[in-house]
Amino acid sequence: MSADAAGTEPDGRSYGPDDGILVAEDLRKEFGGLTAVDDLSFAVKEQEILGFIGPNGAGKSTTFNCVTGTYPPTDGTVYFKGDDVTGIPAHDMVKEGMSRTFQEFAPLEDRAVVKNVELALAPDELFTLSGMGGETEQLAREICRRVGLGGVMDQTPAELPHAGMLKLELARAIATQPDVMLVDEPFAGLSADEVQELTEVMESLRRHGMTLIVVDHNMRGLLNLIDRAFVIQFGSKIAEGTPEEIKNDPEVQEAYLGGEEI
Amino acid sequence: MATETPLEGDVDRRRRRAVVEKLLLRDLALRHRLGILGVGLLGLVPLLAQPRELNQFTSVLYLMMFAISWDVVSGYTGQLSFGHAFFFALGGYGTSVTVNQHLLPLAGDLGLTLGPVGTVLVILGGIVGGTLVAALGGVLIGVPALRLDGPYLSLVTLIAPLLLYQSLIIFSESLPVLAPGGLGGTSGLLNAPPSFVGIGELNTAVTVDQQWVGAVARYYISFLALLIVLAVTYGVTRSAAGSVFTAIREDEDAVRSVGMNPAKFKIFAFVLSAAIGGFAAAVWMHAGPNAAPNTENLFGSGRINLSINVIVVAIIGGMGTIVGSIVGALFFAFADAVVGGLVPNLKPLPTFLLGMLALVFLPRGVVPELTRFGRRLLAWRRGEVDRLLERDRSPSTLKRTAEKYREEIEEIVGGESR
């Protein structure tokens, strides 16, 4: 997918349900008098890796909390696979095929890493034989190996290093078998080698048909991964384009002036 | 996405075969074999005990079932119920009213003379009725309280048994349609419902002529009820749903984030728990020793004692284990009998003392501690010497549940330590 796929003009163009696998149209979220997301519109194409970037407090998390159903938006519409999914509960959104990782990960401390992943494979049913034949455990082990947790999957999450926790979050999201996966700050606090390892995992997911949205406050580490970046500030879009275009965009540089490096 | 997909092929058939393998008890871990041995030994108790002791022991079986019913919801999902006697009372009164005020008068109106088989059928009808009433009570409390995150269930369960207690007094003469004969007030229903087996009493299904035969028969009926409760709770908690329950105890958001609705699982666990508590109490009214539908029996003395006792029992044995409740009830009854026999006036003290000792020295409960000790012993026998002294630093279920509660309550009242 290239930069001009979904409209490169930073000015407001309207989006319809068929503009991509995930489309937000005039999304708005107010908390009391504070507008966290200000009529934001964007579209994510199938099998693309989109970087969703903005300085701290720009409204990235709020946007995706609205999109994934953590709380309903004040106004606007979210289309997923062409259907209106605005305001449906988070767990139903996962069933629709959209999963996410969390920055403040909270793995289940009472069970091994592989069991954490296995939970994501359990069906949302009260009476089930799922797991009886051991096949969900096999699948959970396979997912652990894919994300690089092969050697530590029988340990408890408390024993994992920071990178291991990020991988576990990724594995849990993968195990829900999503079509679109939202990855929140996957590279925070990782070494260059670990960034490379996770980049490869995400690229292989994309090759297998997954669409990824990577949320981060800067583009460090994302340059080799994303096809397109979408930059927001104060809840509105300020730029959209290839990573190179974004780096040279005057408005983006303004937004990051005196703060962090884009 | 995986090239190797274990979900291919006839998964359903493999799963069913795995279930059958489990039911045939092949390849059991040592602790499971010990568990089955223990349940088998429970079945042999009548060979050893005198009739009077046996009656006492039969009531321990009901304590086990009550504690299991608490454990299913509170031990597994971490939603603490402080008033489980609410369900015991609903089950006990439910069956008594169903049998004495509905089914028996109905049989009289129809001019039926009930033989042993007829009386047993009426009793079974009453047990089903009591179980349903308790389950309905679970739905009424659970659906509103459990759709919210946080400790709201605990608050509601504190009050529900007291409200029920008052209702028994308010409707002591008559409750229209539901209980035309009334609920009997604090002294309970004067006419106990018919029992399965008894000596020469008027309303028993089967009359025997010797005390001990009756005691043994009642023991085995109670034991059968325990086996049913065990089978149901084991089936549910050892399936994938059980791992969702414990995940809810750890972190509801984690469950939601992988596409499952925590409210659905919490409500199911709660209603199941209510039904089990109601079922056990209902069977007690027809097969237990000292079976009378009154507040002293079904709420415990002081209106809340039974609710507290089941919590103590489940925690001593080990929260979230099911079998822990069985072991815990044995400890509890033993302490109660020994200390209560030595110093009769200190009645609730020994049990609470036992609870405190368990909290300090065995916070995980007897069963999990023994399991861990056994595992280390086995590892040591395999030659992994250092594992014998290994310490597990992960906090116990009880501690984690209590901590989560503290956080949630602080969130409500605006505490500062968050």
Q: Spell out the residues 6+ positions from residue B356 whose beta carbon is closer than 8 angstroms to its own.
A: none
Among B18, B250, B261, select the one facing A110 at the smallest CB separation.
B250
Residues of B in contact with A131 (CB under 8 A): 239-240, 243
Q: Spell out the residues 6+ positions from residue B59 whose beta carbon is closer than 8 angstroms to its own.
A: B288, B289, B290
Q: Spell out the residues 6+ positions from residue A10 whose beta carbon is closer than 8 angstroms to its own.
A: A237, A238, A239, A240, A251
CA distance between the termini of chain A: 23
pLDDT tens across A248-262, in order?
A: 888 888 877 555 555
Cβ separation of A126 and B264 shorter than 8 Å? Answer: yes
Q: Spell out the residues 6+ positions from residue B358 whose beta carbon is closer than 8 angstroms to its own.
A: B315, B316, B365, B366
Residue with tokens 């994992």: A160
CA distance between the termini of chain B: 40
Cβ separation of A133 and B239 shorter than 8 Å? Answer: no
Cβ separation of B251 and A89 shorter than 8 Å? Answer: no
CA distance A79 to A18: 8
Would you write out chain B's pLDDT as a tens digit for each of its 418 residues? Answer: 434 455 556 667 777 777 777 776 666 777 888 888 999 999 999 988 887 889 889 999 999 999 999 999 999 999 999 999 999 999 999 999 999 999 999 998 988 888 888 999 999 999 999 999 999 999 999 998 887 777 888 889 999 999 999 999 999 888 888 888 888 888 888 888 888 988 766 678 888 888 888 899 999 999 999 999 999 999 999 888 899 999 999 888 889 888 899 999 999 999 999 999 999 999 999 998 888 898 888 998 888 889 989 998 999 899 999 999 999 999 888 888 877 777 777 666 766 777 788 778 888 888 888 888 888 888 888 877 666 666 666 678 888 888 888 888 887 787 554 4
CA distance A232 to A243: 14
Domain range summary for chain B, segments of one domain joined by + = 29-413
**ipTM value:** 0.81
Q: Spell out the residues 6+ positions from residue A81 whose beta carbon is closer than 8 angstroms to its own.
A: A21, A96, A97, A179
CA distance B313 to B326: 8
Cβ separation of B257 and A100 shorter than 8 Å? Answer: yes
Distances (CA, A) of A260 to A63, A218, A224, A251, B311: 21, 8, 20, 14, 54
Q: Per CATH, which fold does A3-106+178-256 belong to?
A: Rossmann fold (3.40.50)
Choose, out of A80, A98, A135, the residue to mutate when testing the contact with B (most B CBs < 10 Å).
Answer: A135
Reading the block at residue B93, the tokens are: 């009164």
pLDDT tens across A87-109, in order?
A: 899 899 999 999 988 877 778 88
What's at B362, amino acid-wise?
Answer: L
Coil, helix or strand at residue A216: strand
Q: What's the pLDDT score for residue A261?
A: 59
Cβ separation of A124 and B260 shorter than 8 Å? Answer: yes
Residues of A in contact with B232 (CB under 8 A): none
Q: Looking at CA atoms only, how far is residue B345 from chain A in angstroms?
A: 42
Q: Is the dihedral of CA B40, B46, B49, B55 positive or negative?
A: positive
Domain range summary for chain A, segments of one domain joined by + = 3-106+178-256
| Residues listed for chain B | 418
